[in-house]
Amino acid sequence: MENFLLRNIDNPKSADISEYEKAGGYKNMEKALSMDADNILGEVKTAGLRGRGGAGFPTGMKWTFAKADPKFPKYLMCNADEGEPGTFKDRPILEKNPHLLIEGMVISGYVLGAEYGHIYLRGEYPEAKDILNAAIKQAYDKKYLGDNIMGKGFKFELSVHQGAGAYICGEETALIESIEGKKGQPRNKPPFPVNVGAWGMPTIVNNVETLSNLPYIMEIGGEAYAKIGSAECPGPKLFSVSGFVQNPGVYELPMGTTLRDIIFKHAGGMRDGKKLKAVIPGGISTPVLPETGIDCAMDFVAMPKAGSMLGSGAVIVMDESVCMVKVTYRALKFFEHESCGKCVPCREGTDWLRKILGRIEGGDGRQGDVELLSDVAAMIAGKTFCPLGDGAAGVVAGMIKYFKSEFDEHINDGKCKFSA
């Protein structure tokens, strides 16, 4: 498959508007602005586009809800708060192909009747901020943003809003709270953001990669797009591959490529001839899979059946030198730190899990600790305000499911055999 999302990123000037236009950029926006918005929405539905942030919600359906709400103005928020550990797929778009995102946002804004867009960018991407701001300025100068875009009578204003280091702001209602200048704590739903979002108005929050697919759908049409990759959730997908592989990096592959192919065919297989031990397939909020579990198709439908989730498509590959207790402990340190504190099961539960895991890894584990971990995880799962708690619980449950013997060994031996 030819790259679309990562098209031209090897060109050192790919972030410049003239290079982007030379490669056919903004042609799809021009085409879209000459079409009826409802027809484009029809194409998005035919394409079967699903949100690339992790939840995999059908984009066309989300947009239909937002369009049906009679309130104006509507706001389009691009979720560029890429914070899921292991994930770095949006970074090449933000830093090397920013005009693709801008073009996608104008098309989306046009479909939705949204005249205002904000890119909520994580604070840890200072380079992307400068690149995006420069790209937005170029787009304004070319009249691709602002009033009466390309003389087609559509107005779209776009700016960058910088986050400040809170993972939870990747959750859409927390993102909205944050952009409103508040602590990034998730809101109760319903009402959903498509009806009552930022500043009380209908708000559509879409991931960078999702919005960047819009020009492609315009280019090839919904029907052709729906033929790429998995039938139930088609399209190209960016996979971030890290850890002990020969060639870590971001790969654009058809949705549904197997985990085995991603690791061994595309990322060059294991580094230094080591043996694969485990894979976290979709960012650290997704349950781990053992070496025997990697023949699954990486998409939103197949991965839950395989016992994990596609998440953000962040594949973390581990060899036999990696201690799974230590990985779980580190993951829980993260969840505890990033828990927003709003609901008890997550705030207290992640703290408990982290403490128990810390003592097991440190050689002070007690008999019954593994059962206690499972117990606490079960008390969190399904009982929290937002998916952060579910993620933490799922990680612990997944690790115990496949690597319980390693936890037992730590407790029985009173030490971690991996730490020299």
Partner 1 sequence: MFNETVISEINEIRGKYPDRRSALLPSLYIAQREFGWLSHEAMTCVAKTLNLPEADVRGTASFYSMFKNAPVGRHVIQICTNVSCMILGAEKLVDIVGAKYGVTSGGTSEDGRFSLVIMECIGACGTAPAMLVDTDFYENLTETNILEILDKYK
- Using the rule CB under 8 A, which residue among 125, 144, 300, 403 binds partner 1? 125
Closest approach of partner 1 to the CB of residue 249, in Å: 5
97 interacts with partner 1 by CB under 8 A: no
Number of residues that bind partner 1 (CB under 8 A): 53
Q: Which two tokens stand for residue 277?
A: 């031990």
Residue 274, Cα to own-chain centre: how many angstroms? 29
Q: Interface with partner 1 includes 402 (CB under 8 A)? A: no
Q: CB-wise, 126 or 368, nearer to partner 1?
A: 126
Give 164: exposed, middle or buried? Use CB within 10 Å, 0-12, 13-18, 19+: exposed
Q: Binding to partner 1 by residue 339, rule CB under 8 A?
A: no
Tell me the two tokens of residue 18: 């003239």
> How far apart are the C-alpha atoms of 341 and 347, rounded to whole Å?
5
CB of 333 to partner 1, least distance (A): 9
Q: What is the dihedral of CA 271, 273, 274, 279, to 10 degrees?
A: 50
Of the candidates 177, 157, 81, 65, the one whose C-alpha atom is nearest the C-alpha of residue 115 is 157
- 117 vs 236 by CB, closer to partner 1: 117
Structure tokens at 253: 């592959």
Nearest CB to partner 1, comparing residues 40 and 392:
392
Q: Which is nearer to partner 1, 315 or 393 (CB)?
A: 315
> Of the candidates 78, 318, 356, 380, which one interacts with partner 1 according to CB under 8 A?
318
φ, ψ (nearest 5 deg) of residue 346: -75, -50
Contact 293, 314 (CB under 8 A): no
Nearer to partner 1, 70 or 181 (CB): 181
Q: Which of residues 132-171 bind partner 1 (CB under 8 A)?
A: 157, 159, 161-167
Smaller CB separation from partner 1, 4 or 334: 334
H/E run at residue 115: strand 114-121
Q: CA torsion 251→256→258→261, rounded to 10°?
A: -40
- Closest approach, Cβ 361 to partner 1, in A, equals 12
- Residue (163 or 236) nearer to partner 1, CB: 163
CB of 148: closest distance to partner 1 in angstroms? Answer: 20
From residue 6, how far is each of 3, 91, 253, 274 by CA, in Å? 6, 11, 10, 30
Taking CB under 8 A as the rule, which mask of x and - marks residues 197-216 in contact with partner 1? --x-----------------
Instruction: Give whichever of 43 and 84 is closer to partner 1, judged by the CB atom.
Output: 84
Examine residue 274 and tell whether it contacts partner 1 (CB under 8 A): no
Q: Does 248 bind partner 1 (CB under 8 A)?
A: yes
385 binds partner 1 (CB under 8 A): no
Candidate residues 13, 143, 183, 265; the one interacting with partner 1 per rule CB under 8 A = 183
Cβ neighbour number for residue 291 with a 10 Å cutoff: 15
- How large is the angle between the packed helices 387-413 and 344-361, nearest 10 degrees? 20
* Binding flag, residue 250, partner 1 (CB under 8 A): yes
Residues 6+ apart with CB under 8 A from 321: 244, 274, 418
Does residue number 275 form part of the binding site for partner 1 (CB under 8 A)? no
Closest distance of CB 280 from partner 1, Å: 7
Told to check if 240 binds partner 1 by CB under 8 A, we report yes
Helix or strand run (H / E) with residue 280: strand 276-280
CB nearer to partner 1: give 44 or 160.
160
From 238-246, 292-300, 348-356, 369-377, span contacting partner 1 (CB under 8 A): 238-246
DSSP alpha helix (H) spans, 8-58: 17-22, 27-33, 37-47
Q: With the C-alpha atoms ordered 340, 105, 67, 161, is the resulting torsion angle positive or negative?
A: positive
Instruction: Give me the least distance between CB of 58 and partner 1, in Å please.
Output: 27
C-beta closer to partner 1: residue 310 or 340: 340
Q: What is the DSSP letter of 146?
A: B
List residues near partner 1 by CB under 8 A.
82-88, 91, 122-127, 157, 159, 161-167, 178-184, 199, 240-244, 248-250, 280, 284, 314, 316, 318, 322, 326-327, 330-331, 334, 337-338, 340
